[in-house]
Structure 1
Amino acid sequence: MTPLVLVHGFMGGSAQWDGQHRAFANGREVIAVDLPGFGKHAHLPPSNSIEGFADWVIADLRAKGVAQYHLLGHSMGGMIAQEIARKDSARTERLVLYATGASGVLPGRFETIAQSKARAIADGARATARRIAATWFLDGKTAPGYEACAQIAEQASLDAIQAGLDAMEAWSGATTLKKIGAETLIIWGDRDRTYAWEQTERLWRDIPLTHLAVVPGCAHAVHLEKEDFFNALLAGFIEAGS
């Protein structure tokens, strides 16, 4: 059975996918990566480009002997997943782009990339991690999943935070969306503070073979805010391609 590869977003980590490991525990292998500079790989030097992160994931999958895979990318990880789907198209079977977009500048974000960079320097890595993690949830710091996400985010150093922001700011995949050949599911929470609808709509309209799921009453962390619903969407799409 084709494994499912999960790529976390900015200041994320593999530990945020426990619910998806549980959902697929009865058969499908789930491979949740930790990008260099983040999560369990916080000790590794981060890339400062989306393409560099994509190359790292592809090399990691090769080292693990993964021949074919379904791929999900969340947020910054969705940008990385777009690059992987183009670079490694023969091995990417189905693609899920979740709470992400085709422009790393992030128009409509809760604050600009430049503001995030400046505030990270002024406030420090830990305060930045906790502040930004709160924006991922509709209920902010009172959301049940907030504390666990904040603790994962806190593992990122100031250098990794700045490198991730640099990588996003310098990247755009808008002109190459039509080159994505994998059948793709777009998932977006209708109250996402990071990616505006215009980003989601462009993915949906420009990638040749897409399906769209808009989840009501969720922000940027649908897989934690409405775990069962998210898992049902994901499983239905992945199983349809098996």
Structure 2
Amino acid sequence: MRDPARVGLRRQAVRTRVGPVVLHVGDRRDDGPALVLLHGAAGSWTTWTPLLLAAASEGRPLANVVVLDLPGWGESPLPDRPLSNGRTALSIDAYAGAVRDAVAALGHRSWTLMGHSMGGLIALHLAASEPARTESVVVVSPTGPSVLEAARHPVRSLRREPAFVGLRAAMGAFSRGGAAASVLLRALDRMHVLRPVVAPLFARPADIPPGVASALSREVRPQAFSIAARLAARYDPDRWMDITAPVRVVRGSRDAFSAEADDGRLARLLPGSTLSVLPTAGHFAHLEAPFAVLDRLG
């Protein structure tokens, strides 16, 4: 679903430290914190529509919703101020700063953060950087220690994280194709070959509507994904130990990226956090089990 009005949102563009960012803002607003939804490296704001629809269907539409297209995804371009050596000006801190700038532009002084995959990493980083402004954090299959290690040492991690290593290699190849990569992805979608490619991301691939694979092919940004993977390789998750807000971790029992082995490591990095494992979900729990994820918001 690409029409924001159908889920009670309106499009808005704001200027941030890394350039323009497009976001979608909920019509319902009160004096509480912003609810900031951050998508993963294979998505855009549209990946949160099942969660928003679930909230509306239960008669509890969410207040102060801010759904971003992170820099380089959706309608938000990559930074318009590259460094002198031609490399991108992005960093994990810059992603978090762009989120901070966007929320501040809307007049919010505090926030609840919900992030998926890479968006979960950014949410945790922002919560650690801005403890006084962060009310709570919910992360869905966050990019955790195992994937961060695989980003640093892909060959060594191939057996442990084959899905991520394979996806990173594919995105790296596509990113070298420039604009032609998007054309090729759309062509592969029309040939109906993308569904088996994305199937490992879901617990029950046969139950996923065909449009989901098409949506993922439209939203994937190989260059932005490759940049994010390089940044992840340099990221130190120990900074999450500075988070003071309550943190809820959600993952599917058949998550191709967030392995069970990470549960203990995340518990160490996020003291006092709670973990929910959803048996009906894979990596995209907010798509596969939106009501269960919604319940974790409290």
Under TM normalisation by the shorter chain, which class is it? 0.7 to 0.9
1:179 and 2:242 matched: yes
Q: Per-residue displacement from partner, 1:137-160 (whole Å, max 9, x unpaired)?
A: 1234x4425633642552444322
What residue number does 2:215 align with?
151
**1:110-156, Cα deviation, whole Å (9 max, x unpaired):** 1416534444358845549957644321234x442563364255244
Larger C-alpha radius of gyration, 1 or 2?
2
Contact 1:8 1:75 in 2 (8 A): yes
SS of corresponding position for 2:149: coil
Q: What stretches of structure 2 of length at least 5 have no aligned partner?
A: 1-31, 80-87, 151-156
Match of 1:12 among 27, 43, 54: 43
Distance, in Å, in 2 between the alignment partners of 1:162 and 1:138 is: 25
CA 218–105 in structure 1, closer or farther in 2 if over 3 Å, else same: same
Q: 1:166 matched to which residue of 2? A: 230
Alignment correspondent of 1:214:
277
Q: Percent identity?
A: 26
- SS of the residue corresponding to residue 55 of structure 1 reads helix
Aligned residue identity for 2:112: H
**Residues matched between the structures, number:** 232
Q: Which residue in the other structure is 2:97 paired with?
A: 55
1:79 to 121, 133, 141: 121
Moved more, 130-139 or 77-86: 130-139
Q: Which amino acid aligns with 1:11?
A: A
Q: CA deviation at 1:164?
A: 2.3
Match of 1:188 in 2: 251
| Matched residue SS, 1:93 | strand
In the TM superposition, what is the alpha-carbon distance from 1:191 to its structure 2 partner?
A: 0.6
Q: Please say if residues 120 and 143 of structure 2, whose CA atoms lie closer than 8 Å, have aligned partners that are also in contact.
A: yes
- Residue 115 (str. 1) matches residue 169 (str. 2): yes
Which deviates more from structure 2 when the two are superposed, residues 207-216 or residues 163-172?
A: 163-172
Distance 1:21 1:118, change over 3 A: closer
Greater mean deviation of Cα atoms: 130-139 or 161-170? 130-139
What CA distance in whole angstroms lies between the structure 1 residues aligned with 2:254 and 2:283?
Answer: 8
Which of the residues 138, 151, 161 maps onto 2:203?
Answer: 138
Structure with more relative contact order (C-alpha pairs < 8 Å, separation 6 or more): 1
Secondary structure class of the residue paired with 1:78: helix
CA–CA separation in structure 1 for the residues paired with 2:48 and 2:294: 11
1:167–1:143 CA distance, 2 compared to 1 (3 A): farther
Distance 2:241 2:232 in 1: 20
Whole-angstrom CA distance in 2 between matches of 1:94 and 1:230: 15
2:72 aligns to what SS in structure 1? coil
Aligned to 2:266: 203
CA RMSD of aligned residues (A): 2.8
Between 112-121 and 57-66, report the one with greater CA deviation.
112-121
User: More deviation in 120-129 or 146-155?
Assistant: 120-129
Deviation digits for residues 213-232 of structure 1 (CA, Å, limit 9, x no counterpart): 11113110111111222222
The 8 Å contact of residues 20 and 231 in structure 1, kept in 2 or not, is answered as yes
Normalising by structure 2, we get a TM-score of: 0.68
Which residue is 1:227 aligned to? 290
**CA distances 1:39-87 after superposition (whole Å, capped 9, x unpaired):** 232x343764322211111111111211111111110011111110011
Letter paired with 2:267: W
How far apart, CA to CA, are the structure 1 residues paired with 2:48 and 2:225?
A: 21
> SS of the residue aligned with 2:280?
coil
CA contact (8 A) 2:42 2:221 kept: no
Paired with 1:77 and 1:29, the residues of 2 have a C-alpha distance of 18
TM-score normalised by structure 1 residue count: 0.82
Amino acid at match of 1:10: A
